[in-house]
Amino acid sequence: MAEDMRSMRSTAGIAEFERGYEVPDCVVLDSTYSSMGRMVAVRACAAAGWAYHDSVTLLELVPECGVAIEDVERLDARLAKGSADLAAVRVSDEFARIWEAYVLGARRALDAGPCLIHDRLSRAAIEGLGHRCVAVLSCAFDARAMRVRTRFSPKYAGLATDAELDAAAAAEDDVRRSWHALVDGATVWAEPAAYDLVLNTDHLGRDFAAKLLALLMQG
């Protein structure tokens, strides 16, 4: 239906049109593998003056929890198979210890000031800690470029074929999808409707995507 904006009525005073943006205390950034989400996040944090955190740095904030990154990697290996019984994982002591450590790490990170957390926390968890949160997704779809970036990782530098690289990236995404399901059963990982901002780095590029994210963080 065509609408002539020149005849549009004024929206002044109508709250549904005029809600203002509030700078969040935290950005949770999910990223599909090889979309450069971690690089985008680090650059955005540097530009905005925010702290950056991920699965490694959050655990460093809570040494008393006794959770090492090797513990997380063992759980991730189960999730990477794509057939893990998530209901069983959710009630396991293994997952409970790791999740408790990450939530406490996020609390301490936020106590120190605004921060971006890559991949391990959820909007619901951050809001449960009493903080404003914006959820962002970094994604990419250019298979050729994604294979180059996958091979750039030391973990996958030895892979030779496109099929091997695609399978490695898919396994990484399986981990992230399953982890998200464990910590936030109300939304679907990488489903655009679950996020406030989606950054397609195929089109935006790493550096401009970081600039846009920094603007969101600064308000």
| Within a domain: 12 | no
Say if residue 51's pLDDT is above 90.
yes
Pairing of β 115-118 and β 133-139: unpaired
214 lies in which domain range?
23-218
Residue 157 lies in a domain: yes
Query: In this predicted model, what pLDDT tens digit does every residue of 176-212 receive, in sequence order?
Result: 999 999 999 999 999 999 999 999 999 999 999 999 9
pLDDT at 81: 72
According to DSSP, the residues that pair with 31 across neighbouring strands are 138
Rounded mean pLDDT, 1-22: 90
**Position 73 in a domain:** yes
Q: Residue 142: is its pLDDT beyond 90?
A: yes
For range 146-153, the mean pLDDT:
97
Look up the CATH number of the domain holding residue 200. 3.40.50.300
Q: How far is CA 177 from the centre of its chain?
A: 11
Q: Give me the amino acid identity at 82.
A: G
171 domain-assigned: yes
Q: List, for residues 74-116, the tens digit of each pLDDT value.
A: 999 989 876 779 999 999 999 999 999 999 999 999 999 999 9
Q: Number of folded domains in the chain?
A: 1
Backbone angles phi, psi at 20, to 5 degrees: -90, 155
pLDDT > 70: percent of the chain: 99
Q: Is residue 32 part of a domain?
A: yes
Residue 13 lies in a domain: no
Specify the pLDDT at position 80: 84
